Amino acid sequence: MYESLHQGKVVTLDKIDNFVDGAAVKRVGDLNFAIAAQVVDRMLLVPEGKVCSEMLRLYNDEGLVVEPAGALAIAALEQIRDEIQGKTVVCVVSGSNNDINRTEEIRDRALLYEGLQHYFIIKFPQRAGALRDFLNNVLGPTDDITHFEYTKKHNRETGPALVGLQIAKADDYAGLIERMNTSHIEYQVVNEQRMLFELLV
């Protein structure tokens, strides 16, 4: 709908991510578009990670179980915070069609969006104590390993590991990277490589 309103005509998207399945369509209906074009003043795009953060907040703070599309309206408020300050705002929160099996995915997407979950491919020296050195020299007091996948390679000096790290505050990321660099650790940031991320995580 956003792209159709932007172009002033119904368009068909090449691909979509259907995580927010209640609002994700490749082509909006003709009647829906005609009505929206007349009555909608503005439409906002909301990152899926922000939707996930809002779903978790609604559950933890309000006891509400909502599906991704149901959290869209509230998730968009952050973008227009300054415009609505001091005003009365009404958001429609609807839809509780949320599969409990998606909870871990929702949490992961929220943490990634908030800059709290990071995945790395790290080359570990294949010697006793290498992991202990990493824990002692790289991890901060509030950092947590959430994923660790490693297979020892024979006849090699190093072996790659997929490591997921959760930090307490987004600002802690710079310190984490600085400690890895100072410790001369060879690594790749998986979060920044979409295809690699989807393959490994």
pLDDT confidence of residue 150: 85
Of 179, 167, 198, 172, the C-alpha closest to 122 is 179
Average pLDDT over residues 113-139: 91
Q: Dump pLDDT digits (tens) for 87-120.
A: 999 998 887 777 777 888 899 999 999 999 999 9
Average pLDDT over residues 120-130: 88
User: Residue 75: pLDDT above 90?
Assistant: yes
Boundary (domain end) residue, out of 92, 114, 136: 114
Mean pLDDT estimate for the chain: 90
Boundary (domain end) residue, out of 114, 132, 167: 114
User: Residue 127: pLDDT above 70?
Assistant: yes
| Contacts of residue 145, Cβ cutoff 8 Å, sequence gap at least 6 | 139, 163, 164, 165, 166
Same domain, 128 and 154: yes
Model pTM score? 0.77
Same domain, 110 and 164: no
Instruction: Categorize the per-residue pLDDT at 22 as very low, low, confident or very high, splitting at 50, 70 and 90.
Output: confident
pLDDT confidence of residue 8: 92
CA distances from 132 to 40, 56, 142 (A): 57, 34, 16
Same domain, 89 and 131: no
Boundary (domain end) residue, out of 96, 114, 132: 114
Same domain, 122 and 195: yes
Q: Quick check: helix, strand or coil at residue 146?
A: strand
Same domain, 124 and 192: yes
Same domain, 106 and 53: yes
Q: Looking at the 3D structure of the chain, how many domains does it have?
A: 3
Same domain, 94 and 121: no
How many Å apart are CA 190 and CA 188, to the nearest integer?
Answer: 6
Structural tokens at position 71: 């959290």
Our measurement of the distance from residue 165's CA atom to the centroid of its chain's CA atoms, rounded to an integer in Å, reads 14
Same domain, 37 and 98: no
Same domain, 110 and 151: no
Q: Dump pLDDT digits (tens) for 143-181.
A: 999 999 987 777 677 888 999 999 999 999 999 999 999
Same domain, 126 and 185: yes
Average pLDDT over residues 28-38: 94
Structural tokens at position 91: 């958001």
Residue 146 domain boundaries: 117-200
How many Å apart are CA 46 and CA 17, to the nearest integer?
Answer: 13
Of 22, 66, 187, the C-alpha closest to 121 is 187
Q: Between residues 58 and 21, which one has the greater pLDDT? A: 58
pLDDT confidence of residue 128: 84
Same domain, 104 and 31: no
CATH code of residue 139: 3.30.2130.10
User: Residue 16: pLDDT above 70?
Assistant: yes
Same domain, 192 and 127: yes
pLDDT confidence of residue 155: 67
Structural tokens at position 107: 């949490």
Of 97, 95, 118, 107, the C-alpha closest to 53 is 107
Q: What percent of the chain has pLDDT over 70?
A: 100
